[in-house]
Amino acid sequence: MIADVSKPLGEEPGSVGWRASFNQGGGSTEGSAAVSYRSSHGRADAAVGSSISGATATAQFDGAIATMGSGIFLTDRIEDSFAVVETGLPGVGVLYENRPIGVTDAKGRLLVPGLRAYQRNKIAIETTNLPVDADVSATQDVVAPADRTGVRVDFRVRTNVGAAVLVLSGPDGQPLEVGSHASINGRQDFVIGYDGRAYVEGLGQKNALVAQTAKGSCQASFGYTPKANQQVVIPVVCR
């Protein structure tokens, strides 16, 4: 009797693969089992076997040490090229060709091995777990590194950008007309959306607003206090 079952090891960190075989015949029994685990620091393999000659056991770990700038990374084995993703925030999920490849470390960085040299490689970050008050100009990039080299991919995520949702109304309490233009502190122009709402950045502790509507212009002043990882909503009456 012969039996052989297996589960292949995936490419994403945290993947587990295994294989087990069993062979009985001719008055003897042989068997073996192996397990593999892939982490962001490398790949570990362990195997045991039993035959008429006795029992065996092996263990192996494959990984690499890479440097870029002042960073030193322990990573999975690098066969070709690699990228260092920087976000500035820890725990941000990173995707390689739409496949989860790991999360950024305490310094907001992650080394992505296995890039294809001289070809287009798409790298992106997940936005679902970013702070509510975070601002990022791009969430994906395409890089083509040279052979046996690394590239830096900067998704620098900004927080504390002085952002809030303004809910603008006129003296009559009705929302300002959608499509109206307004400015903050004489420098930031924006368009008012439905229900008088507008998302603005760069607010200070005290702010002056001027809006231009179909009924004419109006002015308002309001304060701003940031709240960590919370969306600030400020009602503003423009007179």
Give the tens place of pLDDT for each residue, 149-166: 889 999 888 776 788 899
Cα(97)–Cα(122) distance, rounded to whole angstroms?
A: 5
Quick one: pLDDT at residue 28?
75
Q: Give the Cβ contact number of residue 125 at 10 Å.
A: 24
- Beta strands 233-237; 164-169: pairing state: parallel
Cα(202)–Cα(164) distance, rounded to whole angstroms?
A: 9
Helix (H, G, I), strand (E, B) or coil at 29: strand
Query: Is 133's pLDDT higher than 80?
Result: no
Q: How confident is the model at residue 70 (pLDDT cuts 50, 70, 90)?
A: low
Residue 193, burial from CB neighbour count under 10 angstroms (0-12, 13-18, 19+): middle
Question: Mean per-residue pLDDT for 26-41?
Answer: 83
Quick one: pLDDT at residue 1?
73
177-185 contacts, C-beta under 8 A, 24 or more apart: 177/213, 177/214, 177/215, 180/211, 180/212, 180/213, 180/214, 181/211, 181/212, 182/209, 182/210, 182/211, 182/212, 183/209, 183/210, 184/208, 184/209
Quick one: pLDDT at residue 3?
82
Quick one: pLDDT at residue 69?
66
Q: How confident is the model at residue 196 (pLDDT cuts 50, 70, 90)?
A: very high
Backbone angles phi, psi at 39, to 5 degrees: -115, 180
Handedness of CA 61, 62, 67, 68 (dihedral sign): negative
Q: How confident is the model at residue 58 (pLDDT cuts 50, 70, 90)?
A: very high
Backbone angles phi, psi at 11, to 5 degrees: -90, -20
Question: Mean per-residue pLDDT for 120-131?
Answer: 88
Question: Mean per-residue pLDDT for 122-151?
Answer: 86
Spatial CB neighbours of 127, under 8 Å, sequence gap ≥ 6: 136, 139
Cα(66)–Cα(53) distance, rounded to whole angstroms?
A: 42
Candidates 198, 205, 209, 206; CA nearest to 226 is: 205
The chain-wide mean pLDDT, for the chain, equals 87
Question: Mean per-residue pLDDT for 201-229?
Answer: 89
Cα(200)–Cα(101) distance, rounded to whole angstroms?
A: 34
Helix (H, G, I), strand (E, B) or coil at 116: coil
Quick one: pLDDT at residue 26?
67
Backbone angles phi, psi at 105, to 5 degrees: -80, -170
Candidates 125, 145, 147; CA nearest to 136 is: 125
Cα(11)–Cα(133) distance, rounded to whole angstroms?
A: 32
The residue ranking higher by pLDDT, 69 or 6, is 6
